[in-house]
Amino acid sequence: MIMLYYIYILFINMVITLVSPADLGLSKCLQVVRIIKPKYHFTKGCATSNMRSLASSNASDAEQCARLAESNNAFAFAYTNITEGVNITISSTCVVFECPEYHGFLTSSIADQSLYNYYSAYSKPLPNENYTCIPGLGVFDIITNRMNYSDAIEACIDAGGHLANIVSDTRTSLLASLVSSALTNYTTKHQRAFVGLFFDEHFVTITGEPLACLPYRAWAPGHPKSRKIKKDCVVLTSNRYWETEDCSKNMPFICELIADGPMSAVERYCAPIKNHRRRKNCIVRNYKQFEQIEQTEQQCIDIMNNSVGT
């Protein structure tokens, strides 16, 4: 459990207040619950997306377009600041998309893709075709390569995420369907995957919320098992139940991609390193060098702009 507790601390910045087992009163729990609004990051210039669009409008700026995306619970949008006098006609300056673009390149089904800039809640890293976007919920990947709980945590961090949070009716139902579809070669009894809920003095989610502070439960009959048999980690079954399991057992698992981005130059440089600790060390070692390069590039841009203006 030492590794689990390390991860618990690693994600502590995602929680407002941690609550001890001895102090789980309503007032304390209210401090844990929060609504996270999506944050959209400039991801690619002169590009848009082929993902399903939810809405469009003529927004006056990118911030207004972002508000339209947020109101539609969208994960991405494309915006163009075409002004009057430009001899190009488009139907809208803002298009919001249900899911983030999965491809390494962005193609457009909306007018001329070169007119738009693409913004995404997921740009560090960009999702790939292995991920499943559940609209309005998140971006997930079920890994069928069986690992124990600690190794599963590490693998999800390496992929830019964490074990999936399941503590809501919607999350449990939709992710259980993902387990069922991804593990079709398993018998129904064995269609189970590790998720981001475990016991460490009390049940806690991977992002630090005590389960006692959250209203939803989906325990299978007879679960959670007695602590005496050391089943401290939680799996989600294809029939929408939570079950406790031995953390050392090798199981499939579900990763949830963290909404973040974009990558800085030094992060892109270190991105090929798969081990997250080595990748972090690479960023720390090279940060100053890349900072100096970026400053020099900006100085050159400033000099050129000043020359054009004179």
Residue 74 has pLDDT above 90, yes or no: yes
Q: pLDDT by residue (tens digit) across 114-140?
A: 688 999 999 988 898 899 999 999 999
The rounded distance, in Å, linking the Cα atoms of 97 and 120 is 9
Percent of the chain predicted with pLDDT > 90: 51
The rounded distance, in Å, linking the Cα atoms of 20 and 212 is 10
255 by Cβ neighbours in 10 Å (0-12 / 13-18 / 19+) ranks as buried
The rounded distance, in Å, linking the Cα atoms of 163 and 177 is 17
DSSP symbol at 61: S
- What are 214's strand-pairing partners? none
Residue 276 has pLDDT above 70, yes or no: yes
- What are 95's strand-pairing partners? 56, 78
Compare 170 and 91 and report the one with higher pLDDT: 170
The rounded distance, in Å, linking the Cα atoms of 10 and 214 is 21
Beta carbons within 8 Å of 131's beta carbon, 6+ residues apart: 102, 139, 140, 141, 257
The closest of 204, 209, 208, 175 to 192, measured between CA atoms, is 175
- What are 219's strand-pairing partners? 242
Residue bearing tokens 């911030």: 63
In 153-225 the beta strands, taken as DSSP E runs, fall at 161-163, 192-199, 203-205
What's residue 54's pLDDT? 97
The rounded distance, in Å, linking the Cα atoms of 29 and 14 is 15
User: Taken in order 37, 70, 159, 256, is the CA torsion positive or negative?
Assistant: positive
Mark residue 36 as left, alpha or beta (left: phi above 0; alpha: psi -120 to 50; beta: remaining): beta
Query: Average pLDDT in the 137-165 region?
Result: 95
Token representation of residue 156: 């999800």
Number of Cβ atoms within 10 Å of the Cβ of 213:
21
Percent of the chain predicted with pLDDT > 70: 76
The rounded distance, in Å, linking the Cα atoms of 242 and 219 is 5
The rounded distance, in Å, linking the Cα atoms of 107 and 97 is 14
**Of the given ranges (6-20, 22-36, 162-176, 187-201), which has the lowest mean pLDDT?**
6-20
Alpha-carbon distances of 73 from 16, 182, 195, 274, rounded to whole Å = 23, 26, 24, 31
Query: Average pLDDT in the 29-53 region?
Result: 79
Q: Is 41 helix (H, G, I), strand (E, B) or coil?
A: strand
Q: pLDDT by residue (tens digit) across 75-103?
A: 999 999 875 555 566 789 999 999 999 87
The separation between CA 7 and the C-alpha centre of its own chain, rounded to angstroms, equals 16
What's residue 37's pLDDT? 77
Quickly state the pLDDT bin for 147 (edges 50, 70, 90): very high
99 by Cβ neighbours in 10 Å (0-12 / 13-18 / 19+) ranks as buried
For Cα atoms 209, 213, 219, give the angle at the middle one, nearest 5 degrees.
90
Quickly state the pLDDT bin for 12 (edges 50, 70, 90): very low
Quickly state the pLDDT bin for 261 (edges 50, 70, 90): confident
Q: pLDDT by residue (tens digit) across 180-212?
A: 999 999 888 899 999 999 998 899 999 889 999
Quickly state the pLDDT bin for 25 (edges 50, 70, 90): very low
The closest of 27, 92, 10 to 54, measured between CA atoms, is 92
